[in-house]
Structure 1
Amino acid sequence: MEEINNNRSISSPRLQRGDGGEAARIVVLGAGESGAGAAVLAKVKGFDTFVSDMSVIKDKYKELLDKYGISWEEGRHTEELILNADEVVKSPGIPNDAPLVLKLKEKGTPVISEIEFAGRYTDAKMICITGSNGKTTTTSLIYHIFKSAGLNVGLAGNIGSSLALQVATEKHDYYIIELSSFQLDNMYKFRANIAVLMNITPDHLDRYDHCMQNYVDAKFRITQNQTPDDAFIYWNDDPIIKRELAKHGLKAHLYPFAAVKKDGVIAYVEDGEVEINEPIAFNMEQEELALRGTHNLYNSLAAGISANLAGIRKEYIRKALSDFKGVEHRLEKVATVRGVQFINDSKATNVNSCWYALQSMTTKTVLILGGKDKGNDYTEIEDLVRKNCSGLVYLGLHNEKLHEFFDRMGLPVADVQTGMKDAVDAAFRLAKKGETVLLSPCCASFDLFKSYEDRGDQFKACVRAL
């Protein structure tokens, strides 16, 4: 990578000691991957550390906390043990308007994210990726390129291990970090050396007062604190990103990409060749890319630019872009059963992600969709459903909105509120030989499943049991 000065503080003097000379108190809310990691880092750095989780803490995290002698509680939030904190590290899953968080803010207690906390204690280069769709694939692809090139790199954020835990127990030169809007909400001084914004489409609006601008502002926080030494990589044709660029007065060098060559774009495809013009000229045959489809072209371009900026040799970039295996639960081919192909796209938790999946289908498709609606507008996929779908399976406890929108299309429909086996069976009955059954739900999984991973795993198990 070109020499980048991080100018990061590697300590937090304000918090090293309380007013009485004792160790300052860090309280961590939520004891999942990010929370447990933040607690270990706080303990290693000498803070009085306490962890509180309203849910039951997984055994592996209890063992980690106990290993480091960290006090914890589960199934409750004891306010007298929390409101005396000098600083609170909050799980991204806890809303900023949760009653306990509001009480902390009333007291003037700083509430930050695990990423913000971890960033204080490392001088590694930070390559950070966000977007409504494509961020997991792009993050994984960038990590694959860096790792294949032999760099000392960690994978963190929404995927991989906790950034804080890696900072506490390992030392990497680079971190590739997938950031959700929830994680960005509580980041203030953290700086991305390379920031990647794939796209912005409506998602999680239930967490943003159903106000799109609030969600957009959260995504653009990835650019805060960037300097002229840093890079901002983005999809040139996203109308929201283009509108917001001028408003945010970005200092970083801009690296826009698009599917085709046009003014100002530094990465694109021309005559079947992937071209990256800055900072070093790079090209490879598009047909050699491991990932197919327009959305994956964008993912590959963003990853290629990131690797190029890091100074990775062209042959390493070409090889990694051509041998990447893809991401589980994202357009994952499961099996073909009696002529019907089954594809697991459980990670499609919003409408735009489903749009990309439907666009990539080459056969008539039975679409399984539904779950916990986040304020979805299904008009975005209406034309593709009419064109590409031969049937629909609604999978969720509350399918009324799906009936209201899709039933008028006249497609065969199955309503399933009982679980994945019945959904797979219903889709298999609707599909004809040569067609595809696609699980691309548009919704969160939490009505019937523990997570989108659980939903995808159950789908694969049911398909393989047919």
Structure 2
Amino acid sequence: MSEKILVIGAARSGVAVSKLLMDCGKAVILTDNRPEDVVLAEFPQVRETLAELEVKGIETVFGRQIDTKVINEIDRVVTSPGVPLTIPIIAEAYRCGVPVIGEAELAYCMTKAPFVAITGTNGKTTTTTLTGEIFKNSGRKTYTVGNIGDPISNYVMEAAPEDVFVTEISAFQLETINKFRPVASAILNLSPDHMDRYGTMENYIAAKARIFENQRGEDFLVLNADDEQVCELGRQAQCRKYYFSLDKKVAQGAYAMDGGIFINDNESVIPICRIEEMGIKGPHNVQNALAATVLAYFMGVDVVSITETLKSFGGVEHRQEFVATIDGVDYINDSKGTNTNAAIVALNAMTKPVILIAGGYDKKEDYSEFIEVVRKKVKRMVLVGATASQIEETAEGQGYYSTVRVGDYDEAVKVASECAAPGDVVLLSPACASWDMFDNFEIRGQVFKDLVKRIGSN
């Protein structure tokens, strides 16, 4: 009798998992508590695959919580990253001893190709994309996947043992691993995020730490030498460790010094690239480049491929993405600034006076440190979304009164453009998730870009 698997969440990874399992002859139930039309409106790219699966006989349950009694006929549960592990169906699976895993675990167990896994609070997508480009430019077949938006499951059946998966992996995804063992992993930084899910920083860090829990022997972990919490966490690892640093030389790893990036490999110092030659700019991107350099170099990638990619790589969408200059005002899309630390990084990267658009879904963050930077960098802050009043109250409590609250993004972009003078920057860096108004940060960023283009066409 075929193994029967319940897949929870019908977005990109859930549909990809369902297709992989059905292609392998498994019986699949796919469930999502949102109506099917809502899912397809948010993720139109899954429409064709979902229709194909329905023709093949997949069982689907949309628009409601699936009955927990179904667990009696299920052999395994595969859950999507955004699904809390406390919902009734998953709680029942745990109670009945039915294994609950995520896509990363499933994919890892179904391929012989090695994994390079990257986590951290900020910089994951840029570092993952850059690392993937370095591997590709070295001539190795590379799949850049995971939390970055392209499901791992799409490529499991085609990947050869000599290929490599470069994977962005979130704390949510790490909650549901068991055997997942990357040959190389990286923790870029740690700062408060997703407190609505984890409650405490300790719980959040514990989830991140799972990235290296199965690493042993010749596996290696890359750590940010400038982040005390990362270094402390790394002491638990039972594999090789390499480091990267913006401000000091490291014995094994990469560092920035005298305007350049260098690798130190057993006291053999190898110059990689001048920072001014890099395609991505700002101290945070130097950190991302350092991490990617360490991962690639100690995975055996040649120095020339690393250097050339650092020079040619221009960044990724929604991460301090230049949109347009209109009437002397630059418009920058940093919709991926989904927490206060990311927004602080974006603000510190700006060299011109800033009109900031901020606010969104409440992840239970403290905005005090964020407001300290706002006071120094921001001429006017346009607040929108569920946290608008909270951020405004925090700002006023710290003596910053240059705020205006608006009801939607049309108004936010309009007001921001009216506040800006030639030589200013209108920066979307919300310091919050998008889920109060948008299904994801990509849609939020695209809405911002469309509204900016509308201003430019007037």
- In the alignment, the residues of structure 2 paired with residue 350 and residue 83 of structure 1 have an alpha-carbon distance, to the nearest angstrom, of 40
Identity of aligned pairs, percent? 37
Q: Does 1:30 align with 2:9?
A: yes
Q: How far did 1:253 drift? A: 0.9
**Bigger shift: residues 318-327 or 406-415:** 406-415
Contact kept? 1:392, 1:411, Cα under 8 Å: no
Q: Within 5 Å, which residues of 2 pair with 1:127-138?
A: 127-138=116-127
**Which residue number in structure 2 is paired with residue 266 of structure 1?**
253
Aligned with residue 390 of structure 1, among 379, 387, 396: 379
Contact kept? 1:44, 1:168, Cα under 8 Å: no
**Which residue number in structure 2 is paired with residue 175 of structure 1?**
165
3-state SS in 1 of match to 2:356: strand
Q: How far did 1:442 drift? A: 0.6
Q: Does 1:203 align with 2:193?
A: yes
Q: In the alignment, residue 339 of structure 1 is paired with which amino acid? A: G
Q: In the alignment, residue 179 of structure 2 is paired with which amino acid? A: K
Q: Within 5 Å, which residues of 2 pair with 1:18-417?
A: 22-55=1-34, 56=36, 57-58=39-40, 59-66=47-54, 68-76=56-64, 77-171=66-160, 173-208=163-198, 210-246=199-235, 248=236, 250-262=237-249, 264=251, 266-278=253-265, 281-408=270-397, 409-417=399-407
Q: How far did 1:336 drift? A: 1.1
Q: How far did 1:108 drift? A: 1.1
Q: In the alignment, residue 353 of structure 1 is paired with which amino acid? A: A
**Which residue number in structure 2 is paired with residue 13 of structure 1?**
none
Q: 1:437 to 1:235 in 2, by over 3 A?
A: same
Q: In the alignment, residue 444 of structure 1 is paired with which amino acid? A: A
**Bigger shift: residues 156-165 or 121-130:** 156-165
Q: In the alignment, residue 113 of structure 1 is paired with which amino acid? A: G
Q: How far did 1:431 drift? A: 1.6
**Which residue number in structure 1 is paired with residue 44 of structure 2?**
none
3-state SS in 1 of match to 2:325: strand
**Bigger shift: residues 420-429 or 154-163:** 154-163
Q: Does 1:458 align with 2:437?
A: no
CA RMSD, 1 decimal:
1.7
Contact kept? 2:111, 2:159, Cα under 8 Å: no
3-state SS in 2 of match to 1:118: helix
Q: How far did 1:193 drift? A: 0.6
Gaps of 5+ in 1: 1-21
Contact kept? 2:5, 2:27, Cα under 8 Å: yes
Q: In the alignment, residue 84 of structure 2 is paired with which amino acid? A: P
- In the alignment, the residues of structure 2 paired with residue 154 and residue 283 of structure 1 have an alpha-carbon distance, to the nearest angstrom, of 24
Aligned length: 441
Q: 1:426 to 1:276 in 2, by over 3 A?
A: same
**Bigger shift: residues 378-387 or 214-223:** 378-387
- In the alignment, the residues of structure 2 paired with residue 282 and residue 171 of structure 1 have an alpha-carbon distance, to the nearest angstrom, of 33
Contact kept? 1:184, 1:222, Cα under 8 Å: yes
Q: TM-score, normalised by structure 1?
A: 0.91
- In the alignment, the residues of structure 2 paired with residue 444 and residue 263 of structure 1 have an alpha-carbon distance, to the nearest angstrom, of 35
Q: TM-score, normalised by structure 2?
A: 0.92
- In the alignment, the residues of structure 2 paired with residue 179 and residue 144 of structure 1 have an alpha-carbon distance, to the nearest angstrom, of 17
1:414-447, CA deviations, whole angstroms, 9 ceiling, x for partnerless residues? 1012x21100111112222211111000111111
**Bigger shift: residues 114-123 or 61-70:** 61-70
Q: In the alignment, residue 451 of structure 2 is paired with which amino acid? A: C
Contact kept? 1:40, 1:68, Cα under 8 Å: no
3-state SS in 2 of match to 1:260: coil
Q: In the alignment, residue 62 of structure 1 is paired with which amino acid? A: L
- In the alignment, the residues of structure 2 paired with residue 337 and residue 122 of structure 1 have an alpha-carbon distance, to the nearest angstrom, of 49
- In the alignment, the residues of structure 1 paired with residue 417 and residue 150 of structure 2 have an alpha-carbon distance, to the nearest angstrom, of 37
Contact kept? 1:412, 1:430, Cα under 8 Å: no
Q: In the alignment, residue 25 of structure 2 is paired with which amino acid? A: G
Q: 1:397 to 1:384 in 2, by over 3 A?
A: closer
